Structure 1
Amino acid sequence: MILSLTLLALILLVSLWLVLEPLRASAPSDPDAAERERLTTERDRLYAELATLEDEKRRPDLERRAALTLRALDALPPAPRRGGRTRTLALAGVAVAVLVTVAGALTFVPRWQLASLNPGEARNVQNVLALPDLRRKAEATGGKAAYIAWGQAAFDSGQYDQAVTAYGNALKLDPRQPEALRRLGILLLTRPEQTGQTVKPEEAQQAFLLIRTAAQLAPQEAESQLLLGFALARFGQDADALTALERYRTLDPAGRDADELITAIRARQNETDPGLRVYAASCASCHGPTGGGGLGPSLRVSTLTREAMRGIILHGQGAMPAFPDLKPTDLNALLDVLERWHKAGQ
């Protein structure tokens, strides 16, 4: 790595000299010449220092200063055009600079170059760049941690074929790894369809078993509940899927990955169950989308009788408003849902 950085710095310095030397030697009137030279010198110095840096604690500050210097250079008006030999040397310098850019892209991406990306995009770029080294390390050492690290980078950057290989090898070494189980399971369940193939029933069942086992091993990990919810929904178990997805949102309140599926499941339920349709319209905003509680208490652990619930719904109680205009059929359908939840006890 140090050798690559040193060579990169040397090539960069040569290219800068080829571009800048003729400009200094035959410069016509340029009101920004002094500022341009100062910024260029500062840029060269920062590049050289970054290329030979030993104290990594100083890198973020140096990269920030380099980025600011580049922006200041870009803000200056273009220098007056030169001709003849000057133009030839400048073009040669540009060509070398292009080679430097390609070499830099293949070897490393400095943090300041990632500054324009959002955090997720920056992580994806870094994961992709890290994949070859992570793969070589995993295959060379054969260690569980190395395979997991390779699998994480591959999965998070969308390199799913590599993720399947990495997580599969990790599970051969230790079959009780929740992350490897659930991620391998969801890939085996969904990847064939993305390539135009059909998932065989027995393969789908095996994939679901991996995801369910991961949720049993790590029930407090948000991703376990998220992927379990997706798998349950694919098998038509909407009620259980909704429970898992709501559990995911409890474990990760900022997570938005389940929003569309939750909306779709509720819509399906509301179409087939009139009680759920009434609940979604009148109760869910306070008691939660699945009755688990929100601004109002949970309706799944209540000990109230059917008649007691009827009275509270019609006449209200405490902070709860009354709903006297509910049609008898809608009210009875809603009470059926609440009783069903009570019997389930969760």
Structure 2
Amino acid sequence: MMLSLVLLALIVGVSLWLVLSPLGAGVPGDPDAPERERLTAERDRLYGELDTLTDERRRPDLERRAALTLRALDALPPAPPPANRAGRTRRLALAGVGLAALVTVAGAVTFVPRWQLAALSPREAQTVQNSLALPELRRRAEASQSAADSLAWGKAAFDSGLYDEATRAYAAALRLDPRQPEALRRLGILLLNRPARGGGELSEEEAGQAFLLIRTAAQLAPDDAESQLFLGFALSQFGQDEAALTALERYRTLNPSGRDADETITAIRARQNQADPGLRVYAANCASCHGANGGGGALGPSLRVSNLSRDGLRQIILQGKGAMPAYPDLKPDELNALLDVLERWQKEGE
């Protein structure tokens, strides 16, 4: 930033020197003034004689001499402007240069960054803007000791990927108000992911504290998509796959366009499929409609609240019902494993 300002100052200085140097030389004299005055007086004298002419025999000669005089005047270089006019020109030029310099500086401060940001994606541009705003946000938060200002500081740092600074900001916000869902969940996920950022392994106590922060945030803001996303991540890391899938599917419901949970859901399903043949069958045939853990999806209802008997479930699976297609090609052991999963979910409920 400082280098850009120095270069800008250098460019403006050179431009001012180039423009103002000719103006500083003053108004030059008119070396042709005597001849110009003589020809002007001759022209006026000839015009006077033509106006009062009584002898028409002289007219051709007077007109010829007047034309030669005008031609001689036209051949002279233009006369320089009067001194007062040159001063006015200089003032206008100075004003124009000053205005140009002001516009140039304003453009460098405001427009140039926008031109640079236009080449970035919206997310990258927002990251750059957050980074530029961080010093002022930090100063304001430290001066005001306001939870809202600390949250704004933390959000800008977190969204810019400056996680150590985000940790300080969110910790400050929680000291001022401990019931801040955003600060709770983001501080928790930063702590939980510290080893992945090269910050050293977590102790069991630290891991428990991180999980508590994230779970508390989800309890305070159950309809916040990020709360459910982070809760799903945390539950997955603690091996609670069923609860993690519930939270991550909830995230998808709250944020249908969000793709941040896809990899975790895929990993959980892969783990479950390896351990449980019934879940393998469910993932391959049912999850796309009924959700990853049977809690309901975009098309199919929740299977956890079903009160159908095992025989009733078997009949619908093999024959289909309504919008649900039939799956008559399932092998007996695959069908029985799937029914075991559905009955277990019925007992667990939502």
TM-score of the aligned structures, taking structure 1 as reference length = 0.71
What's the offset of the Cα at 1:327? 1.5
How far residue 132 of structure 1 moved from its aligned partner, in angstroms, is: 1.0
Alignment match, 1:222: 225
Query: Structure 1 residues 135 and 311, CA, compared in 2 at 3 Å: closer, same or farther?
Result: same
1:266 to 266, 269, 274: 269
1:151 aligns with 2:154: yes
Partner SS for 1:110: helix
Cα contact 1:232–1:241 (8 A) shared by 2: yes
Instruction: Select the residue among 187, 190, 214 that pairs with 1:187.
Output: 190
Change in Cα spacing, 1:113 to 1:275, as seen in structure 2 (3 Å) is same
How many residues align structurally? 271
Matched, 1:253 2:252: no
Shift of 1:294: 2.5
Q: Does 1:334 align with 2:333?
A: no
Q: For 2:325, what is the secondary structure of its paired residue?
A: coil
- Among 274, 279, 284, the residue aligned to 1:281: 284
Query: Distance in 1 between the 2:280 and 2:15 partners?
Result: 69
**Which residue does the alignment assign to 1:25?**
none
Cα deviation, residue 314, structure 1: 1.3
What SS does structure 2 have at the residue aligned with 1:322?
A: coil
In structure 1, give the amino acid aligned to 2:12: L
Q: Tell me, in whole angstroms, the C-alpha distance in 1 between the residues paired with 2:293 and 2:20.
A: 72
Taking the aligned partners of 1:128 and 1:9, their CA distance within structure 2 comes to 22
Q: Does 1:13 align with 2:12?
A: yes
Identity in percent:
66
Q: 1:211-231, CA deviations, whole angstroms, 9 ceiling, x for partnerless residues?
A: 000000000000000000111
How far 1:6 sits from its partner (Å)?
Answer: 11
2:290–2:303 CA contact under 8 A, matched in 1: yes
Residue pairs, 1:284-323, within 5 angstroms: 284-291=287-294, 292-323=296-327
Query: In terms of mean alpha carbon deviation, does 244-253 or 291-300 score higher?
Result: 291-300
| Match status 1:121 vs 2:124 | yes
Give the residue type in structure 2 aligned to 1:307: D
Cα distance in 2 for residues equivalent to 1:145 and 1:233:
31
Distance 2:18 2:162 in 1: 40
Q: Return the letter of the residue paired with 1:309.
A: L
Matches within 5 A, 1:133-152: 133-152=136-155
Q: Kindly indicate whether the alpha-carbon contact (under 8 Å) linking 1:9 and 1:47 is maintained by their aligned counterparts in 2.
A: no
Change over 3 Å in CA distance of 1:220–1:46 after alignment to 2? farther
Change (3 A) 1:281 1:21: farther
User: Is 1:201 aligned to 2:180, yes or no?
Assistant: no
Q: Note the 1:12-51 alignment, pairs <5 A.
A: 12-16=11-15, 48-49=102-103, 51=105
- Letter matched to residue 111 of structure 1: R
- Paired with 1:199 and 1:108, the residues of 2 have a C-alpha distance of 46
Q: What TM-score does the superposition give when structure 2 sets the normalisation length?
A: 0.71
Q: Which has the larger radius of gyration?
A: 2
Shift of 1:300: 2.0
> C-alpha displacement at 1:123, in angstroms?
0.8
1:231 aligns with 2:234: yes
| Runs (5+) with no aligned partner, structure 1 | 23-43, 53-62, 64-100
1:176 aligns with 2:175: no
One-letter identity of the residue aligned with 1:200 = S
2:161 aligns to what SS in structure 1?
coil
**What is the alpha-carbon distance in structure 1 between the residues aligned to residue 146 and residue 111 of structure 2?**
26
User: Which residue type is aligned with residue 260 of structure 2?
Assistant: D
Higher relative contact order by CA 8 Å / sep ≥ 6: 1 or 2? Answer: 1
CA displacement 1:310-344 (0-9 Å, x = unmatched): 11111222222222221221111111111122222
Aligned equivalents of 1:266 and 1:314: distance in 2?
Answer: 24
Residue 110 of structure 1: aligned partner = 113
- Residue type of the partner of 2:335? L
Kindly provide the amino acid, as one letter, of the partner of residue 216 in structure 2: T
2:154–2:167 Cα contact (<8 Å) kept: yes
1:48 shift after superposition:
3.8
Structure 1 runs of 4+ off > 4 angstroms? 5-12, 15-22, 44-47
Cα deviation for residue 283 of structure 1 reads 1.4
Cα deviations by residue, 1:290-316 (Å, 9 ceiling, x for unpaired): 221322222222121111011111122
1:334 to 1:198, Cα distance in 2 relative to 1, 3 A: same
